[in-house]
Structure 1
Amino acid sequence: MEHFGLKVRMAVVGSILFAFYMLVGAFGLATFGTGAWPLVLLGLLALPFIQYKIGTWSATRGAEDMPEEGQYQEIHHMTESLSRDMGIEKPRLMVMQMGVPNAFATGRKGKGVVVVSTELMSLLSRDELEGVIAHELAHIKNRDVITMVIGSSIASMVGMVTYFVYMFAGDNNPGGFIVGWILSSVAQMFVMIFVLAISRYREYVADDDARKAIGSGDPLARALEKISRGSEGREPRVNDSVNALCIFNADKSLLAKLFATHPSTEKRIQKLRS
């Protein structure tokens, strides 16, 4: 089975996230009463879809459709060829000024979107850009983007539920909202640990898929080296949730390293060239 390790991780993490989601539903029943179960059930069914749509819209906000003519024509041809070889439909291509050389994918098979920064296209050679595009197509093919987006949404909902539970059950002291916010943040980070269990692994899988698609890991390795150097001292213009989807996440703070969404660039390059 292709990418058995990733599929197992996604199944395990999905089951855990589903359990957390059921806790959100239980809180809804406890709050509104068992007579409101149709409303709670409707909310449980609708929220993942709404969160997925919001996540996709938020990620691509500020991006523009990449014209199929002119300077972008070769990128479209490249993406079409790679998509055909990887057995997926050609995704929608978009371009965005991100402040740093980067790219990310969102959506699912048949409804995928690949966003490439203008900074990236001006930095990389053709074969390096092909490696990056292949990497993003692999994320769409493996469906791991959906797990990331929905998992982050469930973590946010668990955090909100934790806050409301504390506020309803608390003693209404003046500083209660601060304690509630801290508990909410801790609960959200706890759920995100399970999402991060697949986040770093999925990058290795997408790197390997890209290597197979273009016949060599060296172009993508060179692209990662250039992206890393090109991001130094520059501030990305995308939010943290989009950074988690990008091929390169440059945040080097202590907390970011602890909850890193990506493995180290050095390890990725080493694997690609091994």
Structure 2
Amino acid sequence: MCARRTGTRLLMTTVGLLLLLWYLGLGAVSYWALSVLWLSAPGPAETAFLILTVALFGGYLSYRLGTRQLLSSLEAVELPRSHAPGFYRRLDGLESRMGVESPTVLIARLPTPNAFALGSKRNGVVVLDRSLFRLLSVDELEALVAHELAHLEGYDAFVQTLAYSVFRTVAGLVFLLLAPLLLPIGGIARAVAWARGDPASWSRTAFGRLLGLVEGTVVICFLLVTLAVRAHSRRREYAADDRAAAVTGRPAALARALLTIQRAAAPSSGLLSTLYVHTEEDKWTRLLSTHPSTDDRIERLLERARTPNRRR
């Protein structure tokens, strides 16, 4: 019995040593790769410019390809002018008052009655659910479209995609810089745990706790950046509401449109969830939401309707 226990402990120690060698080898390879990159890299300013350029270009490709994929998945069709002349007259009036060229208007069967805009003010797309033409009055539909055109004015979706792209690039670079240090630490933690006879306890070793501290710091940084981007998105929603109210002169119409959409909407998920009008009741969920509470938006618009001459 004792011999079996000794053999098991020897086997586990051997496995721990092999894991240590494996992680040390990975750390050495990552250190060598960083050394090669460091020697061949240009100056700090040029390197920063190159990293930023790659991040922005990656964000641009991600946005264009993601937009194309999203629109193709909706099976949306373009709304002909001959089918909705009154709607297009209102749209032409909005274009003349806003810095937006004529967007492509697509009609789709969305999972819930809603609208969203993609693209820029010179090459934009506005997607409307078919039911909106039945649920909303002409004034309400005009106010809702003005809100979406305001997003095109500000390049809102594009800016958020670029922000995430830059952060992902920086996060990947930080991981590469820390890899020669983190990999050996992780290997030592696992080797010690195996030598103790309890492989699952590696995270409770001193090296495991150090690795967990570093990983926790990275997670906190990611969460802070996510909160900042989501907060900016919510501010842009308020700004689009204000812009639509100023252009149409009917903030109450937009408030009624939001209320109708809120009542008709069902909980959604997937690619469209970040673009939809929705209400989040939980405090932490609101912090991570791309849209502010619909109730808050409605109240702001109604307050604006009650005080039309108030400077904002």
TM-score under structure 1 normalisation? 0.72
Q: List alignment gaps of at least 5 residues for structure 2.
A: 1-32, 191-201, 204-210, 304-312
Q: How do residues 117-266 of structure 1 correspond to structure 2 at under 5 angstroms?
A: 117-161=129-173, 168-170=180-182, 171-173=185-187, 185-231=219-265, 234-236=266-268, 238-239=270-271, 242-246=272-276, 248-252=277-281, 255-266=284-295
2:125 is equivalent to residue 113 of structure 1:
yes
Indicate the SS of the match to 1:33: helix
Give the Cα separation in 2 of the matches to 1:151 and 1:31: 29
Cα distance in 2 between the residues matched to 1:258 and 1:79: 34
Q: Partners of 1:194 and 1:237 in 2: how far apart?
A: 22
Matches of 1:191 and 1:150 in 2, distance apart? 13
* Residue segments in structure 1 that go unaligned for 5+ positions in a row: 1-27
Say which one has the larger Rg.
2
Q: 2:101 aligns with which of 69, 80, 89?
A: 89
* CA distance in 2: counterparts of 1:31 and 1:196, whole angstroms: 38
Partner amino acid for 1:104?
F
Question: Equivalents in 2 of 1:182, 1:269: separation in Å?
Answer: 38
Q: What root-mean-square deviation, in Å, do the aligned CA atoms of Structure 1 and Structure 2 show?
A: 3.3
**Is the alpha carbon distance of 1:31 and 1:236 closer, same or farther for their aligned partners in structure 2, counting shifts above 3 Å?**
farther
Equivalent residue of 2:106, what SS?
strand
Amino acid at match of 1:259: L
Distance 2:172 2:178 in 1: 10
Rounded to whole Å, the distance in 2 between the matches of 1:209 and 1:260 is 21
**1:118, CA displacement in angstroms?**
2.5
Give, as a single letter, the amino acid of the residue that structure 2 aligns with 1:261. T
Map Cα deviations across residues 31-78 of structure 1 (whole Å, 9 max, x no partner): 833415589826345323223323433443423242314544443333
Q: How many residues align?
A: 241
Deviates more, 1:195-204 or 1:30-39: 30-39
Q: Is the 8 A contact 2:110 2:129 kept in 1?
A: yes
TM-score, structure 2 as length reference: 0.65
Whole-angstrom CA distance in 2 between matches of 1:153 and 1:252: 29
Q: Identity of paired residues, percent?
A: 29
Q: Would the aligned equivalents of 1:160 and 1:184 in 2 still touch at CA under 8 Å? A: no
Separation in 2 of the partners of 1:195 and 1:225?
A: 26
Q: Does the 8 Å contact 2:117/2:148 carry over to 1? A: yes
Q: Deviations over 1:162-220 (max 9, x none)?
A: 555565532345789x9698766543322122223422221121111111222211110
